[in-house]
A and B are shown apart, each in its own frame.
Chain A
């Protein structure tokens, strides 16, 4: 942005004067300073403890700064497979004899890999293939004999745990759990167990479960197919173009050995942040953290960053998928990462365009022109750690031509680029941003997730509130400027589902 410093200062003053409750963020921050305790273990593992004693329950959130973009070539989906395996227990939970089980698992993996390598030969020897496969299968059966099926989940369930879950994205892998607050130590025991001594138990059966997940979310869903295709078209170099769930052949190719290497590189203390929110004593939590996570190896080890930058796009990219389902339109512009100085302006611009009934697109496309049944947007798709896409997903009303809808969207974007935004519109989305930040402070898991993610992306949980001040500083002129900077045709990808009958 090239507004001069002088003008900018004036504008900030003006905005602060106009904004009714910009003090809320400061008040909230002051209150939370009293409730939040932070510490980093010697090995680099960071904890954020948020006290909230309203009810005797606690939520735990483990954030690992690894996702689809960190995966080695040929192993897409490995971050997600590892996430599934984290529910198999450790060297005590889930096994009747870890020492023996471990030996069999290693042999089983060796057999699988030799089967795999044979299968990749130009002319695989079918006898070798068969014998390797049989060997693998019989070792898999043997390994299974040591397994206590789902013991990890059973222990949590039996102790009243709820919301046991995990998710893997392009940027991150997250693990969630809530427990009655007298069971805090149980979480420390189980969580440290699975991340300090991962077992890779039932690895190959779980890969089939993952394949079913891929079929459900991607292959059997029209929009799932569209998203996968869209990212592959929009990114040529950056790994945001790859599916987090993995390509089918990569799921096949991934072995336990690959997963172990992945674990060693990325599940190191400096790459993990844990949030605990609820009825928790921070002093006790700190002692437990030292006891259970203090000896996690990997002190001083830094996970390798993603080094590839997406090169500038040289022309608009378009594709149509002819399907039996109803039409869908998806448009994406290359945007910025969450630490870019333009992030706040671009995010506010998208809200002015798409968020709420008074937004520009809703009023024009849904209400007035009646072209769209639904119009949704995302700021950083599929992630925000590196520059992602600002995407629009629009469902045309029946009988509305996709071209008509697309051109109507561009009309509104062009209008904004020419200055068609008012101060009222900007103030409104800021008010909503501020109020919704407050609304998000009302539950334990929400707090843990929000504070930890902000710590990871911005370096400090306080940025949950401080970021609101940066939003205050954005002007209407800034919005017009970022619209002209980012919403340009040659940086655009357009993907459509076209109905075969139309």
Chain B
């Protein structure tokens, strides 16, 4: 815009050309510097991951002698032996266990958080302000302070060494972050369609399912993806609640593997690390738009 105004008013058009060329040059130099910095940082950041993949195909002696990506004597030993694990169960068992924790938890989160967000965003009722304040308070409340009594509650319920302590709090909209994110999203959606549906005789539940949920979908997908990632990565929850090895998720199985085989079988541990990261990476690359949108709009930790 400034260029345009200048070219109309300035008496000397040549000067402007000179300025423009100079600006172009500055832009290019600036761009080159930025690319160099971005590329350098990017390589530094991603190299550990790249090396990890290469190292998982190396022999044990090569892991601590070759800083390069490419294995000198590629071997599948790490994967074959690592998959068998040092327990009576294969890594496949731990993968299935992880899925069996993650999937019900994600579904429970999606349903409960949607219902609660709908309640907050679309209804007036007694105590709403207090409850919303409680939501914000839970959002800021460090888990560390509630963890011990929660453990005692689950013990009294007889839920230790089962997945219930991992599922149930989330199915009761325990992740305040997601509720908050969905409330923010809902508030920005006009209510016209919902009101029209209600006038036509739809109940609030019908309105929620057929009108609100489709509109909420992008935010809801973000919620599911984040819950998926966090639960895949969760270590402390299973560490506290799961004690039988046959119920271990991959996070505990990996910890077990470094305790038992690390002294000499590095490539097994690295190979299983690669496998345990693969689902999260795949989901991220398939759905990165939702991650970036979710994080920029709702503001999610990570």
Q: Do A and B bind each other?
A: no
